[in-house]
Structure 1
Amino acid sequence: MRHKPRTDSGLRQKQAVTQLLQQGRQEEAWRKIRAHLTLVPYDGWFLHEAARLARRSGDLDLAQRYYQRALKLAPQDAGLLNGLGLTHYDAGRWSEAEACYQAALKSHEGYAACHNNYAILLHKQRHYHLALEQYRLALLSKADYTEARYGMSTLLAHMGQLQEAESQMQQVLHVRRSDLRCRNALGMVQLQQGNFSAGWSNYQARYAPDNPDRFFTLPKLPMRYWKGEDLCGKTLLVRTEQGMGDEIQFSRFLPRLKTEKQAESVIMLGSKPLKPLMFSMPHLDHYLTREEAQHALPQADYWCSLLDLPQHFLNSTQPFGAHHPYLFSPKEQQAKWPILGSGKKIGIVWKGSTGHKNDSQRSLAHLSQLAPLFDLPDNNWISLQKGAGEEDITDFPHVQPLGALFSSYRDTAAVIAQLDLVIGVDTSVIHLAGAMGKACWVMLPAWARDWRWLANRDDSPWYPQMRLFARGQDEEWSAVVARIKQALQQQ
């Protein structure tokens, strides 16, 4: 009977902490937990709650210490092992996280949440087939596990299994209609399959305020957002939103706002590196950088984000249409960039921005991977590479290193205008070549291919002169290079 009051006190403490957490009063819960652990330092329940609170607040070192103390009491506790795995994952310690998840699943087979967490880790590491197995095990254990179903749907999209990805996303949205993160992912899958009407509509979720994974937030501008209203006699302000390649690709719609939608004036708010180039575009009245617009925002009747423009042209005879080329390089600019040598002039670019989330898949590791092409006779090779990877050129003195000298896309365009062909990975440079009407061969990654390259096609409706060389999921880049070499030999 002597110990009963202490047991009752501990129970009351647990109930109080649980109630505080349910009410969102985390600071008060923390104080009670710490006070209790001062008196009873190895109370497993309180250690677990302390660990979870520390992890959720971002104090990962403290969370790890609490989990490890709790595991001394219960070394095979699956919940503790899973929590410690999440802590390691959040800290970027992936091998430690994997060991914890495996131990948790060994202790508790069919632990759905842990299967899901392990799948997320494997997906992040691009172990796609192993991740898919873990997602399926999570859903086998808990059929209504919507978060696991969403994770699996995005994985299937990255694996190119687009129809199954869409099916899983539709199931998620049937349960969670307001899941804008899923709606955005669905939009990209639909666009890649050529379902443009539904795709562009769902893709608007990319900036929805309630989307936790939104790409960006729409700015608050002092004019209405354009949703297809009559533009006759009106001024439309268009704002770029994502990368340079996006701006180059979708700027094709700017002239069409005047020629087809009868806008009186079109103003583009774009990127500083593209400004000198964009002046060459017909029917564009003004081009301001976003930085310039912060000081003096031009007057307009409506505004629109650049990648929302395509949906307003879907009913036209040429929904992707542009008068190719729609970007140009003046002769005087080209004269500043003479290309030496004779034979076919071929420009190459082998790396994209290292900040791109899929750069490890889309970029080549080194220029040497293109070296088999250099054996072909009567070809004059010109590097268009600027930034990451440009130093690779030192090993290939027969390749003219012009890219490293570029100061703007106007310089890049001046060289592209003189070429017969551009060969490259999926970067802004290949979009520029396409916009200039230049023949362009694009090397596409095997995994997480961008939605703008339609499934099961080796051409592009966006750029008539473009040819796609997609890497198979069981191929190395060397196989793609071999196919390009064969195509060059057949010309």
Structure 2
Amino acid sequence: MLQQGRQEEARRKIRAHLTLAPYDGWFLHEAARLARRNGDLDTAQRYYQRALKLAPTDAGLLNGLGLTHYDAGCWSEAEACYQAALQSHMGYAACHNNYAILLHKQQRYHLALNQYRLALQSQPDYTEARYGISTLLAHMGQLQEAESQMQQVLQVRDADQRCRNSLGMVQLQQGNFAAGWSNYQARYASDNPDRFFTLPKLPIRYWQGEDLRGKTLLVRTEQGMGDEIQFCRYLTRVKTEKHAVKVIMLGSKSLKSLMVTLPHLDNYLTREDVQHTLPPADYWCSLLDLPQHFLNSTQPFSAHHPYLFSSAEQQARWPIEGNGKKIGIVWKGSSGHKNDSQRSLAHLSQFAPLFDLPDINWISLQKGAGEEEIADFPHIQPLGAQFTDYQDTAAVISQLDLVIGVDTSVIHLAGAMGIPCWVLLPAWARDWRWLENRDESPWYPQMRLFGRGQDEEWSTVITRIKQALQQQ
């Protein structure tokens, strides 16, 4: 029944048998596995523990119980089970892989790397472990080796869209844009279990580079606010270089008042505006698929900076006090971001070494998480907490001499407005858009990157920023 996929029938048979023979080890193990796969983790745990009373050192049972604890978010218990299983059975490839996944999730990168290598040492054709080590190597910044491992996975599983998407991001970070943008389309592939989003089914054709003369293109936003700010530049270029007669953006409500300043954009709509009817268009495209159509141009990243603006009237609503240099700061991103623990500062106080520099007026651009931390620093103007949309943020940024911040939408806005911006980048799992071994960005001419080394604390990065400010 299990082999035929008749799981519910098998589960009933197993439970009936265990009523008569409650300590039948094989049936307990199968009952535990079925319960875990169905998400009934408490029941699975009870079955595993009952089976382990019969065979306390059974590596398969210990590994299964570890998986159950992992699924329940009990990571220390899961680690103890994996360690016990490997003590009973060294070279247990599946358990090495499961342990590596746990360590990777906990950002214990070097230990995870060792476990992945042990899994592959025991079972060289273990494709899932090879994919795991490839993503870990990418997070560790070892991009060439990460790409090699991903290519090996795709030699075995050519249709693995999850791996193809990861490969695309590695290639983009290495500056291999043609291959990178092509593979990055797997981010929304319907057979990618880790897809970022699903393409909607719209009654118009998807644009793949067809001639746009006399045509209307509808572009749909995707992912975060920073992505929309960074890549909206291509909407202008679709009009001026691809000669579309009309360009319409379907975007985010909080960005609308800002995005209407984008040159040559004919219309900006939000999802609320088009709940029932889409505007007429000949083609549509997802925003981050646009760059691949400009790779052969003389300026594949951008033709014009700045490309987003704030009016004098809007700026007048946000007067900034002081006569010295004006520097805006942002120290946290969204807590929901999967790498937020690496990219955000723990507290505004980590910026404190900068605050004793003379003749600088500090302005908080922080909105949301962390904005309350400004209370401990009365000399910083707390404007960010008062923002209602990104046009408010833009009105303040346009008056600044410099923005210093972690990798968030605010630094993208500064870059899009042509305001000098210094960005603190994390040591681990750095985003693909910041190219490897670079302290500047082709996306934003006014930007300077301060990457954290893997053996550094944020305090060391902030010391480098302080020295750079003193040299200005």
Secondary structure in structure 2 of the residue aligned to 1:353: coil
Does the Cα contact within 8 Å between 1:320 and 1:462 map onto a contact in 2? yes
CA distance in 2, matches of 1:243, 1:294: 21
> What corresponds to 1:108 in structure 2?
89
Does the Cα contact within 8 Å between 1:458 and 1:468 map onto a contact in 2? yes
1:22 offset after TM fit, Å?
1.1
CA distance in 1, matches of 2:185, 2:350: 38
Deviations, residues 235-261 of structure 1 (Å, cap 9, x unaligned): 000000100000000000001001000
> What corresponds to 2:334 in structure 1?
353
Percent of aligned positions with the same letter in both sequences? 85
CA distance in 2, matches of 1:291, 1:140: 54
> What corresponds to 2:161 in structure 1?
180
1:292 offset after TM fit, Å?
1.6
CA distance in 1, matches of 2:194, 2:287: 19
CA distance in 2, matches of 1:402, 1:253: 31
> What corresponds to 1:399 in structure 2?
380
> What corresponds to 1:464 in structure 2?
445
Deviations, residues 271-312 of structure 1 (Å, cap 9, x unaligned): 000000011111000000122222321010000000000000
List alignment gaps of at least 5 residues for structure 2. Answer: none
Secondary structure in structure 2 of the residue aligned to 1:382: strand
In the alignment, which of 286, 294, 316 is matched to residue 297 of structure 2? 316
> What corresponds to 1:226 in structure 2?
207
CA distance in 2, matches of 1:269, 1:329: 21
1:322 offset after TM fit, Å?
3.3
Secondary structure in structure 1 of the residue aligned to 2:444: coil
Count matched residues.
Answer: 472
In the alignment, which of 421, 424, 435 is matched to residue 416 of structure 2? 435
CA distance in 2, matches of 1:34, 1:264: 67
Secondary structure in structure 1 of the residue aligned to 2:440: coil
Q: Which amino acid aligns with 1:111?
A: Y
Deviations, residues 25-46 of structure 1 (Å, cap 9, x unaligned): 1010011101110110000000
Structure whose alpha-carbon radius of gyration is higher: 1
Secondary structure in structure 1 of the residue aligned to 2:329: strand
CA distance in 2, matches of 1:414, 1:87: 51
TM-score (norm: length of structure 1): 0.96
Is 1:236 the equivalent of 2:217? yes
List alignment gaps of at least 5 residues for structure 1. Answer: 1-19
Does the Cα contact within 8 Å between 1:253 and 1:322 map onto a contact in 2? no
Secondary structure in structure 2 of the residue aligned to 1:46: helix
In the alignment, which of 49, 73, 97 is matched to residue 92 of structure 1? 73
Q: Which amino acid aligns with 2:172?
A: L
In the alignment, which of 423, 426, 441 is matched to residue 445 of structure 1? 426
Which structure 2 residues correspond to residues 283-302 of structure 1 after superposition, within 5 A? 283-302=264-283
Is 1:32 the equivalent of 2:13? yes
1:62 offset after TM fit, Å?
0.1
Deviating above 6 A after TM superposition, structure 1's stretches of 4 or more consecutive aligned residues are none
CA distance in 1, matches of 2:303, 2:324: 31
Secondary structure in structure 1 of the residue aligned to 2:405: strand
In the alignment, which of 410, 425, 431 is matched to residue 391 of structure 2? 410
CA distance in 1, matches of 2:435, 2:91: 38
CA distance in 2, matches of 1:214, 1:21: 29
Q: Which amino acid aligns with 1:121?
A: L
In the alignment, which of 35, 40, 50 is matched to residue 69 of structure 1? 50
Is 1:196 the equivalent of 2:177? yes
CA distance in 2, matches of 1:444, 1:282: 30
Secondary structure in structure 1 of the residue aligned to 2:167: helix
Deviations, residues 411-468 of structure 1 (Å, cap 9, x unaligned): 0000000000000000000000000000000000000000000000000000000000
1:103 offset after TM fit, Å?
0.1
Is 1:132 the equivalent of 2:113? yes
Is 1:23 the equivalent of 2:20? no
CA distance in 1, matches of 2:44, 2:51: 11
CA distance in 2, matches of 1:24, 1:70: 24
Q: Which amino acid aligns with 1:197?
A: A
> What corresponds to 1:340 in structure 2?
321
> What corresponds to 2:250 in structure 1?
269
Name the Cα RMSD after superposition: 0.4
Secondary structure in structure 2 of the residue aligned to 1:304: strand
Does the Cα contact within 8 Å between 1:231 and 1:264 map onto a contact in 2? yes
